[in-house]
Structure 1
Amino acid sequence: MSTHPTGKRTGRPRSASADLAILEATRAALVELGWGKLTMSDVAGRAGVAKTTLYRRWANKHDLAVDAVAVLFDELQLPDLGSLRADVEGVVLQFAALLERPEAKTALMAVVAEATNDAALRLRIRSSIVDRQKRLVVEGRRRAQRRGEIPPDPPGTDPAPQIDLIFDVIAGAVVHRTLVSGEPVDATWVAGFTALLLTGLASA
């Protein structure tokens, strides 16, 4: 096998359009077939690519399904609406709308259910979805600190534990509301949730 002087393998560059087609096909298969019947062969056929192409990108259906979900969550953006309260309400409504999409709902529930007995899959979900989406909390805190809405981090302190907690509270509440309780995440609920998040239980 020929290589570049750097030791990297030669070959055609990876196609972004093929990746998107594969991930879309994976979500469609999950909606139609469910986790148990999802196969790499079926995804390859739906995406119009060779199975070898699929395996060059993803080692197994666990990794493939998580990435199919992760790319949807990468669509989330934190709006700059002028205040922390409005920003939180905006991103929560975006998140809830995403979870209402059949391909997002089915794919997320499938990988989470499968991960209950698979530690490697849980790690994949954490790195590909959870850790990547914590960027929204990081951005929101920094913006609120610049506005003077929340105090800056004291010198020498690590904000990571607070970032983790904020993410868990928001994501956990919205996922439970939409996927477990099956209740709407409308403007009224979001306003109440945001007030509770920002002011605390005693104030609320």
Structure 2
Amino acid sequence: MAAPDPLPSPQRRGRPRSAAADRAILAATRAALVEVGWSRLTMGEVAHRAGVAKTTLYRRWAAKSELVLDAVAVLFDELELPDRGCLRADVEGVVLSFAALLRRPETKTALMAVLAESTTDQALRARIREAIVDRQKRLVLDGRSRAQQRGELPPDPPDAAETARVVDLIFDVIAGAVVHRSLVSDCPVDEAWARQFATLLLEGLSTVSSAPGGDASEGDTQPEEHPRG
């Protein structure tokens, strides 16, 4: 897959930006983060690795946190939602794809670094919402639209604000669960866990069961099916 175009940064006067240079800078940022960590990462180190002048970085990004955020945001843009035939399979697929992205060292290191920085930087927190959260809600919109076309979900309500709230909630539930399990609990997100998560999301708590005395991700236990009606 071709590398996604870098995120747009605030326009500054001067020569037009080079997309190739931007990609090299963002790739160098991710590589440096994995090797030296957040605390030792400098704009000078990134410039050296990317083969550009340090002033080139500062014309594009005002601070290290902004640079790292854009470096990880383009990785999230690689996420896709292939049509797997039904809503349940689509949910399982996006959960596994998201978890695989979070397992990559460059994603994990960059994301956790900018989230930590954002606790005391409201402007950075807003940039995270814009660059990652809002951009990736496209997956929810695509998945809902596909399920509606299949007849698996009802049409959107006439109130656009209500639709937006539903999309926000779905995104928060899926992303929150996968991020927490992957990065906070440091537990695997495998096919068994993805199946049970999809069951919980689509059918509710009463339908979810796990192997006696074991974690839901252990083994290949199918969720118990309860009769409807």
With normalisation by structure 2, the TM-score equals 0.82
Instruction: Give the counterpart letter for 2:98 in structure 1.
Output: F
> 5 Å matches for 1:48-127?
48-127=51-130
CA distance in 1, matches of 2:111, 2:61: 18
Match of 1:188 among 181, 189, 192: 192
CA contact (8 A) 2:80 2:94 kept: yes
CA distance in 2, matches of 1:55, 1:169: 36
The runs of 5 or more residues in structure 2 that have no matched partner are 1-10, 209-229
RMSD of the alignment, in Å?
1.6
The alpha-carbon deviation at position 28 of structure 1 amounts to 1.5
Corresponding position of 1:200: 204
Match of 2:138 among 135, 138, 150: 135
Helix, strand or coil at the partner of 1:30: helix
CA contact (8 A) 2:12 2:59 kept: no
Q: Give CA deviations for 1:49-82 in whole Å, capped at 9, x if unaligned.
A: 1111111211111111100010000000011111
CA distance in 2, matches of 1:76, 1:145: 21
Q: Give CA deviations for 1:96-121 in whole Å, capped at 9, x if unaligned.
A: 11111111111111111111111111
Corresponding position of 1:164: 168
Helix, strand or coil at the partner of 2:205: coil
CA distance in 1, matches of 2:13, 2:54: 20
- Summarize the Cα distance change of 1:9–1:136 in structure 2 as closer, same or farther, 3 Å threshold: closer
Helix, strand or coil at the partner of 1:86: helix
The alpha-carbon deviation at position 9 of structure 1 amounts to 8.5
The alpha-carbon deviation at position 12 of structure 1 amounts to 4.6
Corresponding position of 1:3: none
CA distance in 2, matches of 1:10, 1:115: 28
The alpha-carbon deviation at position 157 of structure 1 amounts to 4.2
Which is worse superposed, 22-31 or 152-161?
152-161
Instruction: Give the counterpart letter for 2:183 in structure 1.
Output: L
Helix, strand or coil at the partner of 1:202: helix
Match of 2:156 among 142, 148, 153: 153
CA distance in 1, matches of 2:30, 2:160: 41
With normalisation by structure 1, the TM-score equals 0.91
Aligned residues: 197
CA distance in 1, matches of 2:13, 2:196: 55
Q: Percent identity?
A: 72
Normalized per residue, the structure richer in helix is 1
Q: Which has the higher contact order (CA 8 A, sep 6+)?
A: 1
